[in-house]
């Protein structure tokens, strides 16, 4: 396969504007570009939708309100009223991932959510934030989180490390889920698309049908993974606020 | 309700009617249940399930490995803590998978709340 035609070439980071701050490579890359595009899109979508807020909403306003209500209900159902202060954060993270995934569905675009560095950074901040909230709210009582109620003390030396490992594995499973789904889906699309050309007119229609179906599936996954990330954040927050 | 009035010239009465209908629809238990069950239920494909299980399992083992390796490096205790923590990590992974399996009906695999998970299981 020629250079640049590998199914993985789409995930390559390309430096657009080289910037170096104190020996650290902080260049503006194609990944950064699509993050900026995502933020602009979300801002335009929401601000534009709310520009003329009328009582009977138009299509655009409906969509903006729908996304708001969707996350508001999610926070209310999963965290309860104590979750209200954290709604902006969860809404932001949901919209950022969702629109980032959708930007990635555009041909020739770059999917920044297919990079573990990006997803892990988000998951790590969620994890640190949730842990700090739990400690701030429950102080030392937080440590009972690692000791399930009704367990005999004899089991503690075994169970506490297991619970701690289980707790620490959260940001990893949270980030790997999103990253692996996006990476696998986009690679699969590219691989099947490559088959269309190599099989030609004779049998090329078969992978073509696959690609059409997979594209639809990818849109579902793009939404689902943003949703999963947001709802898991809610659940972790719920754990932090209520401890078991 | 008659819908022959053109949308541009909606009378306040129509709007009130509409508002009341909307309120009723939003508050009805049926809608809430439908919304909830649709929202929190994932398309349960076998591939997705396998993926979720493996991620939960592997991430816990990875954390166990990292902790054990780090402690070994700090304390110089050879490979032993790593071995112990990989086993603990595996146990934690199984625990993760178990928790996921309990909330199987949910999109993300965890039971959202204790009461919600029990009602889900009854269904």
pLDDT at B79: 86
pTM: 0.79
Asked if the C-beta of A222 comes within 8 angstroms of chain B's C-beta atoms, the answer is no
State whether B51 and B87 are in the same domain. Answer: yes
State whether B26 and B61 are in the same domain. Answer: no
Mean pLDDT of chain A: 86
Nearest to B91 among A162, A235, A238 (CB): A162
Residue B111 forms part of a structural domain? no
State whether B55 and B97 are in the same domain. Answer: yes
Domain range for B20 is 13-43
State whether B30 and B55 are in the same domain. Answer: no
State whether B23 and B52 are in the same domain. Answer: no
**B33 pLDDT above the threshold of 70:** no
pLDDT at A51: 81
State whether B39 and B50 are in the same domain. Answer: no
Structurally, chain B folds into a number of domains equal to 2
Residue B116 forms part of a structural domain? no
Nearest to A162 among B51, B59, B88 (CB): B88
Residue B109 forms part of a structural domain? no
User: Which residues of chain A have a CB within 8 Å of the CB of B55?
Assistant: 173, 176-177, 180
Distance of residue B1 Cα from the nearest chain A Cα, in angstroms: 17
**B89 pLDDT above the threshold of 50:** yes
State whether B26 and B74 are in the same domain. Answer: no
pLDDT at B64: 93
- Cα Rg for chain B, rounded, in angstroms? 25
Q: What average pLDDT score do residues B69-73 get? A: 91
Residue B35 forms part of a structural domain? yes
Question: Residue A40's pLDDT band (boundaries 50, 70, 90)?
Answer: very high
Nearest to B62 among A74, A166, A172 (CB): A172
């Amino acid at each position: 396969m020629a250079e640049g035609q590998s199914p993985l070439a789409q995930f390559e980071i390309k430096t657009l504007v080289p910037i170096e701050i104190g020996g650290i490579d902080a260049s503006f890359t194609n990944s950064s570009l699509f993050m900026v595009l995502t933020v602009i899109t979300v801002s335009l979508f929401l601000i534009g939708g709310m520009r003329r807020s009328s009582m009977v909403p138009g299509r655009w306003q409906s969509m903006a309100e729908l996304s708001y209500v969707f996350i508001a209900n999610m926070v209310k159902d999963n965290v309860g009223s104590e979750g209200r202060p954290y709604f902006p954060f969860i809404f932001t993270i949901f919209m950022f991932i969702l629109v980032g995934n959708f930007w990635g569905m555009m041909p020739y675009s770059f999917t920044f959510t297919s990079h573990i560095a990006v997803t892990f950074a988000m998951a790590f901040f969620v994890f640190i934030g949730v842990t700090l909230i739990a400690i701030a709210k429950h102080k030392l009582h937080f440590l009972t989180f690692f000791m399930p109620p009704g367990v005999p003390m004899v089991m503690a030396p075994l169970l506490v490390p297991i619970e701690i490992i289980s707790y620490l594995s959260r940001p990893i499973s949270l980030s790997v889920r999103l990253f692996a789904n996006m990476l696998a889906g986009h690679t699969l699309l590219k691989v099947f698309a490559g088959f269309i050309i190599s099989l030609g007119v004779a049998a090329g229609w078969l992978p073509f049908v696959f690609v059409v179906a997979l594209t639809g599936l990818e849109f579902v996954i793009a939404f689902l993974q943003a949703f999963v990330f947001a709802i898991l954040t809610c659940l972790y927050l719920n754990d932090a606020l209520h401890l078991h | 309700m008659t819908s022959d009035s053109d949308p541009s010239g909606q009378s306040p009465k129509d709007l009130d009617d509409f508002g009341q209908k909307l309120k009723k629809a939003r508050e009805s238990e049926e809608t809430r249940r439908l919304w909830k069950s649709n929202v929190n239920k994932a398309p349960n494909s076998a591939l997705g399930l396998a993926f979720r299980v493996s991620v939960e399992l592997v991430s816990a083992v990875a954390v166990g490995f990292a902790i054990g390796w780090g402690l070994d490096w700090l304390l110089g205790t050879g490979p032993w803590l790593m071995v112990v923590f990989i086993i603990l990590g595996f146990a934690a992974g199984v625990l993760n998978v178990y928790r996921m399996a309990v909330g199987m009906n949910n999109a993300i695999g965890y039971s959202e709340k204790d009461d919600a998970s029990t009602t889900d299981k009854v269904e």
